[in-house]
Amino acid sequence: MTTYSYIIPLYRIHKMTRPNNSNGNSYDDGQYRTFAFDTCVIKKICDNRNLVSLLKCHIDFKNSTIFLNQKVVEEAQRKFGYDTGYILDVLRSSLPANVSYEEITPTMEIEAEYLKRDCEELHNGDSVILAFAVERNCILVSCDRALLRSCKQVGGECINPDIIAGTMRENISQTAGRSTKFGKRKNKRIAKPETVKPISVQMKAQFKKIKWEMFTK
């Protein structure tokens, strides 16, 4: 009798066992979670730390671990010149979370091949980053839409900081027109003060100009 062996990709096992997140993209309930940052997020944080403040408004990092994997560091160093030590210093000084550097394992590389085969939008680098997030059971934080779509396709959890930023800008723009219990708030226009003419000008307007012809008639 011939037997066939079939290896179930790890992401499919996680897809069957991972509980759904009922809070959407807001992870502020204090539960322990692990996060995997993509290269684009690392670049944005290193370029402008205001992004960290934005993330902390929606994610409670106090009881969490952020994994910085080998592939992300290699891409950040090759493309943007940020080395491992600098990235770790920025994350640890900006976020109240445990930040850990992790290498890519052979198992993750095999998993990346499965992911690349099943997700048409994934390229070599992103497939490894997604495989890391799957094996570590991390929430993937990325601005790469193709990577995010692939993460959702395999049942993973992910956050797009660009969407969070867009939502905040939309909320701010709607504040001026927000309704109150007294009715819809209206922007009052300040009337331009009326210009008062000098008294001499007003008096001239009340009297006709005396002309010589008036005495010759």
- 43-47: long-range contacts, CB 8 A cutoff, minimum separation 24: 43/76, 43/79, 43/80, 43/82, 44/143, 44/161, 45/90, 45/91, 45/94, 46/76, 46/80, 46/82, 46/86, 46/87, 46/90
Structural domain including 47 reads: 10-169
Q: CB–CB of 141/36 below 8 Å?
A: yes
User: Each residue of 199-210: b (16+ CB within 10 Å) or e?
Assistant: eeeeeeeeeeee
Domain annotation covers residue 193 = no
Domain annotation covers residue 175 = no
Count structural domains, the chain.
1
Q: What is the pLDDT of residue 82?
A: 96
State the CATH number of the domain containing residue 66: 3.40.50.1010
How many Å apart are CA 70 and CA 103, to the nearest integer?
5
What is the mean pLDDT of each successive set of 10 residues along the chain, which is 217 residues long? 44 48 52 93 93 85 93 96 96 94 96 94 93 95 95 93 65 49 49 53 52 51
How many Å apart are CA 78 and CA 61, to the nearest integer?
28
**Model confidence pLDDT, tens digit, residues 75-103:** 999 999 999 999 999 999 999 999 999 99
Q: What is the pLDDT of residue 53?
A: 86
Domain annotation covers residue 212 = no
Domain annotation covers residue 215 = no
Domain annotation covers residue 180 = no
The pTM assigned to this predicted structure is: 0.68
Q: CB–CB of 139/35 below 8 Å?
A: yes
Q: What is the pLDDT of residue 215?
A: 47
Domain annotation covers residue 110 = yes
The SS3 assignment for 27 reads strand
Domain annotation covers residue 182 = no
Domain annotation covers residue 197 = no
Q: What is the pLDDT of residue 24?
A: 42
Q: What is the pLDDT of residue 70?
A: 96
Q: What is the pLDDT of residue 6?
A: 37
